[in-house]
C-alpha cells in the first residue's frame, strides 16, 4: 500500500528489533483536516498495530497543543486524534510558526498511544530554520519498556488495597 503523497511522506523504520512508521504531514489550511492521506495512514497503522510518529504542519489551532486559541480546524483535528488512539506530544506553548506579525503553534507531533511513552525531550529549537516554521526536536527511546499493569502491582501495589 502506498501511503505517501504530495503532502505526506511516510517511512518505515526498524531499529533494535522495533519497527515503526515516521511521517511528515502538511495539512493545507484550505482543505479538510486531517486530509484523506493522513486519515488512511492513521487507520492503516492502527489496523497493522504499527507504531506511528508524525510531525505535522497542521495549520490548526488548539489549546491542547499550545496554540493561543482553538479554531474549528483544531477541534476537528483533536476529535480525530482522540478517536484514533493518537497522542499529542507538544509540550508548552513555544511558537512553532513565526512571522513579523504573528506567532502561533501550528506544528504538532503525534504518536500512537502505544508508542508515545518512547518519545523524550520534545522541544522547539531556537536556532534559525530559514523558514517561518521552527525546528522541532525529540528523541525516540527504544529502550524504555512499556509499563504493564503487572509492573504497577509489583512496584506500586495492588490497587485493591487502596483506601476507599
Q: pLDDT tens for residues 31-58?
A: 989 999 999 999 999 999 999 999 999 9
Give residue 69's Cα distance to chain centre: 19
Domain ranges of the chain: 8-161
- pLDDT on residue 159: 46
Alpha-carbon gap, residue 123 to 91, rounded angstroms? 7
The pLDDT confidence band at residue 157, using thresholds 50, 70 and 90, is: low
- pLDDT on residue 67: 96
Cell numbers found for residue 164: 476507599
Q: pLDDT tens for residues 69-87?
A: 999 999 999 999 999 999 9
Q: Are 63 and 105 in contact (CB under 8 A)?
A: no
- Cβ neighbours for 30, distance < 8 A, ≥ 6 positions apart: none
Give residue 107's Cα distance to chain centre: 10
The pLDDT confidence band at residue 161, using thresholds 50, 70 and 90, is: very low
Nearest CA to 51 out of 115, 103, 94 is that of 115
CATH (one of 3.40.50.300, 3.60.10.10, 3.30.420.240, 1.10.10.10) for 8-161 = 3.60.10.10
Instruction: Identify the three-state secondary structure at position 5.
Output: strand
| Average pLDDT, rounded, for the chain | 89
Cell numbers found for residue 133: 516554521
- Checking 154-162 for CB contacts under 8 A at 24+ apart, the result is none
Q: pLDDT tens for residues 82-123?
A: 999 999 999 999 999 999 999 999 999 999 999 999 999 999
Alpha-carbon gap, residue 107 to 36, rounded angstroms? 18
Q: Looking at residues 10-32, what average pLDDT do you find?
A: 94
Amino acid at each position: 500500500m502506498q501511503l505517501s503523497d504530495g503532502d505526506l511522506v511516510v517511512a518505515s523504520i526498524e531499529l533494535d528489533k522495533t519497527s515503526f512508521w515516521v511521517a511528515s504531514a502538511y495539512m493545507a489550511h484550505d482543505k479538510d483536516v486531517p486530509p484523506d492521506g493522513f486519515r488512511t495512514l492513521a487507520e492503516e497503522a492502527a489496523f497493522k498495530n504499527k507504531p506511528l510518529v508524525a510531525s505535522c504542519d497542521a495549520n490548526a489551532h488548539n489549546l491542547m497543543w499550545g496554540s493561543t486559541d482553538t479554531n474549528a480546524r483544531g477541534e476537528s483535528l483533536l476529535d480525530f486524534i482522540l478517536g484514533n488512539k493518537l497522542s499529542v506530544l507538544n509540550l508548552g506553548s513555544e511558537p512553532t510558526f513565526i512571522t513579523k506579525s504573528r506567532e502561533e503553534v501550528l506544528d504538532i507531533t503525534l504518536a500512537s498511544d502505544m508508542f508515545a511513552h518512547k518519545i523524550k525531550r520534545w522541544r522547539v529549537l531556537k536556532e534559525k530554520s530559514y523558514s517561518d516554521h521552527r525546528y522541532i526536536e525529540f528523541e525516540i527511546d527504544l529502550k524504555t519498556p512499556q509499563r504493564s499493569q503487572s509492573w504497577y502491582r509489583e512496584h506500586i501495589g495492588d490497587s485493591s488495597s487502596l483506601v476507599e
